[in-house]
Amino acid sequence: MREVAKEVDAWRGQAALIPDTAIREDALGALAHKRPHLDGAALFCILPRRRNLCLLRLLVAYELILEFLDNMNERAACAGIANGRQLHLALIEALDPDIPISDYYRHHPWRNDGGYLRSLVEACRTHCMSLVSYSRVRRLVVKEASRTQVLALNHDPHPCRRDAALRSWVEREFPGETQVTWFELSGAATAPLTIHMLLALAAEPVCSDSEISDARAVYFPGLSLVATMLDSYVDKAQDIATNGHSYIAHYPNSELATLRIGGLITQSINDAYRLRKGHRHVVVAACMIAMYLSSDSALEPKRRQTSLELACAGGACTRLLLPILRVWRVAYALRTA
């Protein structure tokens, strides 16, 4: 966490110098309000046998790109999907050092970021090439990053048009899929957990194809879907107030949503245990679940029982971490983040 704090401070210093006011606010907002997500990304550093500072810096910078772009895309939703897709090219190019860097602000209402986004992309590229097994995961991680462009569809202010676009996207990306609903698949694709996991495996000198394949099957859609639905669960009131897209609202009712998410949590934790060094994957998953369920919105009186049920679905590790993460939130003044 000390190393994450150093990275956050360094990027905050650059963000404060962004000339354009709107972009500067979005960059600083991501650093101020998305700290739990940055620490959560950095936690994937525990997966390799040895700690790797370049991996930590990569994970923090990549997550910061995602949160920064989400803020900008939301602010400029009126600019259309083309703007969102152009912005989110940064998430692909940050992990593919051989392709040219695009003009990310081509369709954006504000353009002068003083080179901030390019610096983040270039930092990710440099750190990727330092990972000893990056060549083994490069194709897969770029593929996963390309799916994050679905984020551009989430901020469409017209619900019917947005849902139709998400359905069409799922039909193209996952033809013939019948086990998971369209909104669950599109939701899972918005979470960067699979990318973080692949980058962590790339830091290992020995990284087999079977290990990569087994881990991908656990993280997508399973754990990625858990992350998205818990994020939607804690933000539900805010999404209603702002007319934002709520993934959890696609379930027929709250009872079925709780049942489905609880089942996903239990299944994902059990599957994670069976991976190589499964206990480390479980710690990552349990921390993520406890992080969401330790927020103020999850602990409101009317939601406390449901949050407790979801925590119990995550097993003993999640229940142990829940009060610890609550104390962490209070200490860092991140209770509602």
Instruction: Supply 149's token pair.
Output: 């462009």
Q: Give the Cβ contact number of residue 9 at 10 Å.
A: 10
Quick one: 213 exposed, middle or buried, by C-beta within 10 A (0-12, 13-18, 19+)?
A: exposed
Percent of residues in the chain assigned helix, strand, coil, to nearest 5: 75, 0, 25
Write the burial class of residue 146 (CB in 10 Å: 0-12 exposed, 13-18 middle, 19+ buried).
middle
Are residues 109 and 23 in contact, defined by beta-carbon separation less than 8 angstroms?
no
Q: Looking at residue 221, what DSSP letter applies?
A: I
Q: What is the residue-level pLDDT of the chain in tens, covering all 337 positions?
A: 889 999 999 999 999 999 999 999 999 999 999 999 999 999 999 999 999 999 999 999 999 999 999 999 989 988 888 999 999 999 999 999 999 999 999 999 999 999 999 999 999 999 999 999 999 999 999 999 999 889 889 888 889 999 999 999 999 999 988 889 999 999 999 999 999 999 999 999 988 999 999 999 999 999 999 999 999 999 988 887 778 889 999 999 999 999 999 999 999 999 999 999 999 999 999 999 999 999 999 999 999 999 999 999 999 999 999 999 999 888 877 655 5
3-class DSSP assignment, residue 151: helix
Cβ pair 259, 291 in contact under 8 A: no
